[in-house]
Each structure stands twice: as C-alpha cells, then as structure tokens.
Structure 1
Amino acid sequence: MTEQLQQAVERFQSGDRSAFNEIVRAHQREIYNLAYRVTGNAEEAKDLTQDAFLRAYRALPGFRGDSSLRTWLYRIAINLGSDWRRRLFKAPLQLDEAADPPAPERDAGLALAVQRAVAALPYKQRTVFVMHHYQGFKHEEIAQITKRSVGSVKANYFQASAK
C-alpha cells in the first residue's frame, strides 16, 4: 500500500470520513473490472462494486493491516461475487458488450469469443483466471484473497487456461 493510501486509512480510522474517497479513487477501477469479469454484466458489476465499497466503508475502522488494503478489498469483492453467483445458482451469464470498449473490426470476433469463453468457466476457475490474467495477481496473492491453497489456485488457473 502506498504511503498516501496508508495515511488515508489512518485518517479514516481517526474520524476523517472524507479520506475514504482517496481509497475509492485508487481502487474503484480494478474492483469494477473484477466485478465485471465475475458477473459478465455492466450493471451487476456496478452494483457489486458499490456494495464492496459500502462494506469496506463499514468495516474499515476495524482494518488491522494484516493483509494489504488491495487484498482486503479484493476479498470483499470476491465474497460479494460468490454471494451473487449463489443467488443465480448457475444461471447462464448475459454478456454486456457495451461495457468493454469495442475492439477493432478484425479482432472483434476473437475478443467476443474470449469473453464468452471466460464467462462460461465455472465460478472458481473464472475468478482465478480473471485475477491472474487480467488483474495481474500472483498465484500466492490469489490464494490469500480466496482463502484457498496455492495448489488449488494453480490447478484452477491451469484448468481455465486449457478450456
């Protein structure tokens, strides 16, 4: 966590609620991207992102820094994504192509095929694949966030990549 974000957390915990805006600005895009990749729908991703920051706002006074702020926020978003997925109980994902900027004409078919393939992955594989491939997390970080073993994370990533 950058020193500026660390200071924002400390100010928030000391009563300066406006400091939370800095935290949101620093992490909103990546939390939204994760939510979009998990849900496959722009509106659902916006709702999940908003819910994640609302939970973070309520829980931040008790944040001890045992993990990085980024890891903590991702854990909240992953938990909300799991809750969302359970509510749908394996309902097929509806892709919202308007949420991603359009690819050039020659690559549009490939981009859509990749998006559909990722959306069709089982939830655990999709989550690991998105976090590693799109968000740049290491397997160890994903294991910490998802509370799974590194071996399980690697297996899920390998299985997702093979599909």
Structure 2
Amino acid sequence: MQAEPQGGLLLERAMRLSDVDAALVARCKGNDLTAFDEIVERYQHKIYGYVKRLVGNETDAEDITQEVFLKALNSLHRFREESSLQTWLFRIATNLCRDAHRRRQREKGWLSLWRQADEQNETEEGGIVDPPDDRFNPEKLLLHEELSAMLSQAIEQLPLAMREVLILHDVEQMPYEEIAQALGVPLGTVKSRLFHARARLRESLANYVYGV
C-alpha cells in the first residue's frame, strides 16, 4: 500500500484541528465557559513560548500570555473565523508584544538619561563607578551553554519585525500564509523578513565561532 504524501497528512491534521477549534468557538459563543478553558489548555504553551522568545523575560511573558487569553475571551464574540483560531490568538499575542516593546523602548530612553546623570554626578563627586557585571563571562560557561546564550542574544537583537517572523516560522513551524495573516503583512514581506533575519543570525554566529 502506497504511503500518503506528507503534505496530505499535514493538511488532514490541520483540517481536524480546525474542526475542533470551530466546535470550541461555537461552544464559547454559546456561553460554555468550559470550552474556553479547553482553548487555553490547547494553546497556552504555544502562546507563552512565542511571547517569551519575543520579550525575553519570563515574568513579562506570563503577564502578556494571561492578557492574550483575557483579551480573546472578551473578544471571542467578534471572532468571524476568517482565519484559524491559532492565527487569531497569535495575532493578539503579536500586538500585545509590540505594545510591550514600545513601552520598553520608552522606558530605556528615560533610564538612559537618568543613568547618564547619575554617572556624571558620581564622577564629579569623586565616587567610584561599579565595575561591569561579569556574570556572563564566557569562561564561566560550558561551550554549549555559551553558544546557546549567543543564539538567544542574537535573536533578541533582531528587529522585532524580523524576530516575529523567525520565531513563528522556525520555532512554531507556522506556514508562510498563516504568518502573514497573524502579522497582518503581505506574504512577500514575511519571506523577506525571514531571509534577512536568518542572514543576520548567520553573521552574528559566524563572528562568534570564527572570531571575525
């Protein structure tokens, strides 16, 4: 008996998942709150993993993940099912992460100004500036831990738009079309951002491995 092509299996699995999600959404719209608990159970781990990789902080990731599902619960009656439930949840998560990123950038601007003022005052008063934090000294880490840390750092340094696409495609293994729906951008933009994100990662890791 000839094996079914892998693409057919993936399509069949996606259709089964879509049917389950559609049933859960219908139950939620019928005020069955246990159905929403099932949605949370199905997608909480994926959403948390995606958010954590974007924000790089467990506490913030937990808060944002909770906010994602709270927003989904309050908005589910407006969900028109033009996209999959997973795509819709990832779109909510993406928007909340973007909001958090903008807040963080504003806070960094203020903190930078305060830090400069503090350092100037310490210098003028003859104070001693704290030495650099050496907790991340590579000599204190095993090689694989160091490389893993470098990869995480390289991903965190990517522009947010590139980071979103890279994580959704390479980590969450989401198809291009679904990523485009989740991020609200054209398909060509998704492919372009992924190409440039991978190129930057290769460059960053090459500099580390070969000391370029």
TM bucket by the smaller chain? 0.7 to 0.9
- 1:39 corresponds to 2:55: yes
In the alignment, is residue 66 of structure 1 matched against residue 103 of structure 2?
Answer: no
Aligned to 2:69: 53
Taking every aligned residue pair, what percent have the same amino acid on both sides?
Answer: 37
Unaligned runs of 5+ in 2: 1-16, 110-141, 201-212
- Displacement, 1:109? 1.5
In the alignment, does 2:137 pair up with 1:121?
Answer: no
Cross-structure match for 2:13: none
> Per-residue deviation at 1:106?
4.5
Return the TM-score normalized by structure 2. Answer: 0.68
Distance 2:81 2:52 in 1: 27
Deviation (angstroms), 1:2: 4.0
Match of 1:111 in 2: 148
Partner of 1:159: 196
* 2:46 maps to 1:30: yes
Task: Tell me what 1:83 maps to.
Answer: 99
Q: Which has the higher contact order (CA 8 A, sep 6+)?
A: 1
Q: Rg larger in 1 or in 2?
A: 2
Task: Write the letter of the residue equivalent to 1:161.
Answer: R
Letter in 1 for 2:196: Q
The residue number in structure 2 matching 1:137 is 174
Question: Could you tell me which of 27, 30, 34 is aligned with 1:14?
Answer: 30
Give the match's secondary structure for 1:89.
helix
Q: Give me the whole-angstrom Cα distance separating, in 1, the residues matched to 2:144 and 2:18.
A: 37
Tell me if the contact between 1:5 and 1:22 (Cα under 8 Å) persists in the aligned partners: no
Letter in 1 for 2:104: L
Report the Cα distance in structure 2 between the residues aligned to 1:2 and 1:75, rounded to whole angstroms: 17
